[in-house]
Structure 1
Amino acid sequence: MAVVTETGSFAVPAERLWELVSDFGGIAKYMDGVDECVVEGEGIGALRKIPIGNDHVVESLDVLDLESLTLVYSMVSGPMPFKDYSASMVVTRDGEDTCLLTWTGTFEAHGVPIEKAERIAGGLYRGGIEGYRRAFEV
């Protein structure tokens, strides 16, 4: 099982970053290459469908913990090189007006060498972290 972690620091209070992270359907607002996201259901068990080419990635919201500022999701289906994929996004306070986002994924590689799957996951997490940063540059 591979484990990939990316961490980013933010010059905003943790609660402000959490507002973005906790919006399970808001991925198109911060992730490059994602123009649309459709959410079915609400709360734990909700599914988000993200178009990828002629297919969709479907992810399930597994945990949304407002106290620990933790969101956990898993991939249900889609054309990604992962099997048994689960990821957590944790916002932690790092001062009065600063925080960290730690994005960790665990998975098996599917159809590609594990090193390539790890690079893809790391790139997705870094891109998402940068997208969140851009959201605060208004």
Structure 2
Amino acid sequence: MKVVVKGNIACPASVVWGRVVAFGGIAQWHPLISRSIQENAPGPGGGVVRSLTTYDGAAIREELTACDPESRRLSYTFLASPFPVAHYCATMEVSETGPTSCQVTWTATFEPSDPADGPRLRDLFADEVFRTGIEALKPAGVRLESSTAP
């Protein structure tokens, strides 16, 4: 399954990218994350690992799999999560749309453990995780568009 959420933000791309690229600091801007810690040891793929705790107490570990500051794009995967998915891979990209505006695109692909659960998980990631996170990057001036694909 694939999830894509886009948000237009009235804020320079460099400012928004600075928040996104601070991989271990997601709790500073994402309202669903109460705690985030960047681990000292690299993950299985050699990337930076962050340990997250959500406000409802769920634990998530994610590994940074790619980071391209020039294109303002990073990708990460789940090492552990409460979500019943496999092969989860997400990408965040910040594109300049003007000197004081940008667009954030947050995309994920995954396989639900139970195919019947796919639509619920797709909507959960799109609405509760990605859309909420993009809105929190700059609360004022956000217009969101989303699309989903099987």
TM-score, with structure 1 as normaliser: 0.88
Tell me whether 104-113 or 42-51 shows the greater mean CA deviation: 42-51
Structure 1: unaligned runs, 5 residues or longer? none
Aligned partner of 1:108 among 108, 111, 132: 111
Partner of 1:5: 4
Greater relative contact order, per chain length (Cα 8 Å cut-off, separation 6+)? 2
Match of 1:56 among 48, 55, 59: 59
Deviation at 1:51, TM superposition (A): 1.9
User: What 5-or-longer segments of structure 2 have no aligned partner?
Assistant: 142-150
SS of 1:93's equivalent? strand
Between the aligned partners of 2:39 and 2:140, the Cα distance in structure 1 is: 25
RMSD across aligned positions (CA): 2.1
Return the alpha-carbon distance in structure 2 between the equivalents of residues 105 and 91 of structure 1: 15
Partner in structure 1 of residue 125 of structure 2:
121
Residue 55 of structure 1 deviates from its aligned partner by: 4.7
- SS of alignment partner, residue 79 of structure 1: coil
Secondary structure of residue in 1 paired with 2:123: helix
The 5 A counterparts of 1:1-138 are 2-41=1-40, 45-52=47-54, 53=56, 55-111=58-114, 113-123=117-127, 124-134=129-139
Q: What TM-score do the two structures reach when normalised by structure 2?
A: 0.82
Count of residues in Structure 1 that have an aligned counterpart in Structure 2: 135
Residue 134 of structure 1, CA deviation:
3.2
Select between 100-109 and 48-57 the one with higher mean Cα deviation: 48-57
Of the structure 1 ranges 113-122 and 29-38, higher mean CA displacement relative to structure 2 is found in 29-38
